[in-house]
């Protein structure tokens, strides 16, 4: 009887991960794609029609996408007590119908590719994955009270970015730097995604397994555009009738040929989800811009001789006063402290900024509240896991902070190349098991916190082979 039970169990397990025979068309698609690992990153090249590149992505990254879904669904359930399937059903209502045809076809290709490699999912689940920031941090707070839930998903409003040109840089050309600051339990944003679409511009960007957009939002295109963003802190309006942010970002990045076109696509039918300050540069004109995109309000600045920075504080007063709950003068808060630090660094290094300085900026540990070097939650390279203070109404020793660093200049962008560092931008290592042993209050994160060893800065290029 035990032997029969074991056979039945093995049958169920094998069927759940059963690969299906590939068609000649699917084999042809896969022959044009590749993936390889390098210094903590996974490089993924996909190309062709929307369905083809989606299939390539889903097939080659099926295990990683499944892991992203596991991590996200675990976090969602713990912090809300709501089932993941419920959130997926809401994504089907709110986001899926508003995703454009090309993007939804690519998502369907991801589902098809995963299934062919033995991993089951659905269109709506991949939409929920792509739109999880909009759903968790913008839509959910508007409905949670009606469900008598006291929980809230609190996205850490943190990233540190700058863009400079003209008199600010060593060669007078554009330099862009960005690091992602978020929870260490989030799906891993260690994908370098190289997309050569059938139509539109080639894209090289940081991304997450299963995403058709960037989410961390660092990209270059063969149109000569470079871009990044930092979230607008304390933002709250959301319009479920608008188009998803992730869909607009992908369209803008793939089809825009200049800054104005990029911004116009982002603003059209905006839903307010994932409200960001976008830092965009055009290496053809040496012009840079900052688009702060709220819901009812937006701010836009451009220059060929200066800089813009982002640290999660809205610069546009209409957005700041009417669409956020932020206090832009409380330097105990991370966003304000980092805003002050950016201005210090820009003033101190005017006319000298290059790639090496950009790397140094993203790894900076100066705390402007304490007026000393002190790695923690207030520094450009953030380390919540070692910070004993309460910052931004958070909790001490919260396992979140800087996940990476990326820099690019005009010369590299012209060659579709940028430099990136996985793990902390400063190189400080993180050990998940050791952290949980020291901080048992976070024991629910067991199985979600992975080690982040120190990695070197590494160059990536569009069209890179294994």
- In this predicted model, what pLDDT tens digit does every residue of 231-269 receive, in sequence order? 999 999 999 999 999 999 999 999 999 999 999 999 999
CA–CA dist 384, 391 (Å, integer) = 9
pLDDT at 14 over 90: no
Nearest to 53 by CA among 191, 196, 189: 196
pLDDT at 153 over 90: no
Query: 101: how many CB neighbours lie within 10 A of its CB?
Result: 8
> Looking at residues 156-174, what average pLDDT do you find?
92
Percent of the chain with pLDDT over 70: 93
pLDDT at 50 over 70: yes
pLDDT at 271 over 80: yes
Higher pLDDT, 132 or 12: 132
- In this predicted model, what pLDDT tens digit does every residue of 329-341 receive, in sequence order? 999 999 999 999 9
pLDDT at 289 over 50: yes
CA–CA dist 223, 200 (Å, integer) = 9
Does residue 159 contact residue 280 with C-beta atoms inside 8 Å? no
CA–CA dist 183, 276 (Å, integer) = 18
CA–CA dist 169, 31 (Å, integer) = 42
CA–CA dist 364, 366 (Å, integer) = 6
> Looking at residues 441-457, what average pLDDT do you find?
96
> CA 150 → CA 137, 145, 416, 441, distances in Å?
14, 7, 46, 20
Three-state secondary structure of 265-307: HHHCCECCCCCEEEEEEECCCCEEEEEEECCCCEEEEEECCEE
Nearest to 445 by CA among 404, 401, 399: 399
The CATH number corresponding to 28-143 among 2.40.360, 2.30.29, 3.30.300, 1.10.439 equals: 1.10.439
pLDDT-derived band at 466, boundaries 50, 70, 90: confident
Position 242 scores a pLDDT of 98
> Looking at residues 16-35, what average pLDDT do you find?
89
Torsion-angle region of residue 238: left (phi > 0), alpha (psi -120 to 50) or beta? beta
CA–CA dist 381, 350 (Å, integer) = 21
CA–CA dist 289, 169 (Å, integer) = 16
Mean predicted lDDT score pLDDT of the chain: 93
CATH-assigned architecture of domain 158-461:
4-Layer Sandwich (3.60)
pLDDT at 379 over 60: yes
pLDDT-derived band at 92, boundaries 50, 70, 90: very high
- In this predicted model, what pLDDT tens digit does every residue of 188-217 receive, in sequence order? 999 999 999 999 999 999 999 999 999 999
Position 7 scores a pLDDT of 37
Q: Where are the domains of the chain?
A: 28-143, 158-461
């Amino acid at each position: 009887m035990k032997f029969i039970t074991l056979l039945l169990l093995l049958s169920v397990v094998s069927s759940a991960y059963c690969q299906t025979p590939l068609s000649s068309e699917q084999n042809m698609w896969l022959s044009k794609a590749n993936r390889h690992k390098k210094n903590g990153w996974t490089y993924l090249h996909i190309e062709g029609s929307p369905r083809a590149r989606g299939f390539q992505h889903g097939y080659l990254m099926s295990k990683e996408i499944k892991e992203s879904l596991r991590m996200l669904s675990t976090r969602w359930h713990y912090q809300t007590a709501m089932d993941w399937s419920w959130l997926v059903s809401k994504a089907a209502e709110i986001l899926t119908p508003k995703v454009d045809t090309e993007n939804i076809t690519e998502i369907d290709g991801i589902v098809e590719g995963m299934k062919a490699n033995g991993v089951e999912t659905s269109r709506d689940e991949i939409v929920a994955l792509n739109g999880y920031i909009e759903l968790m941090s913008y839509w959910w707070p508007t409905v949670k009270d009606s469900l008598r839930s006291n929980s809230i998903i609190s996205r850490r409003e943190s990233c540190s970015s700058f863009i400079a040109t003209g008199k600010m840089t060593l060669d007078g050309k554009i330099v862009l730097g960005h690091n992602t600051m978020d929870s260490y339990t989030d799906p891993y944003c260690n994908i370098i995604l190289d997309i050569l679409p059938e139509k539109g511009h080639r894209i090289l960007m940081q991304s997450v397994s299963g995403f058709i957009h960037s989410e961390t939002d660092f990209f270059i295109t063969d149109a000569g555009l470079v871009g990044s963003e930092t979230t607008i802190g304390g933002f709250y309006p959301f319009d479920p009738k608008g188009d998803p942010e992730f869909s607009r970002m992908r369209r803008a990045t793939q089809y825009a040929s200049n800054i104005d076109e990029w911004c116009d696509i982002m603003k059209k039918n905006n839903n307010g989800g994932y409200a960001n300050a976008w830092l965009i540069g055009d290496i053809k004109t040496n012009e840079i811009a900052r688009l702060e995109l709220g819901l009812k309000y937006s701010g836009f600045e451009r220059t060929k001789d200066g800089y813009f920075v982002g640290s999660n504080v809205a610069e546009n007063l209409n957005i700041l006063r009417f669409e956020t709950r932020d206090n832009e003068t409380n330097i105990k808060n991370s966003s304000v402290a980092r805003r002050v630090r950016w201005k210090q660094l820009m003033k101190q290094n005017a006319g000298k900024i290059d790639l090496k300085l950009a790397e140094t900026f993203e790894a900076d540990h100066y705390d402007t509240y304490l007026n000393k070097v002190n790695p923690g939650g207030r520094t450009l390279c953030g380390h919540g896991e070692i910070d004993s203070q309460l910052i931004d109404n958070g909790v001490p020793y919260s396992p979140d902070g800087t996940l990476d660093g990326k820099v690019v200049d005009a010369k590299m962008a012209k060659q579709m190349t940028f430099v990136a560092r996985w793990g902390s931008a400063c190189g400080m290592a993180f050990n998940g098991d050791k952290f949980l042993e020291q901080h048992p209050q976070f024991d629910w994160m067991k199985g979600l916190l992975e080690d982040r060893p120190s990695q070197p800065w590494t160059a990536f290029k569009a069209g890179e082979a294994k």
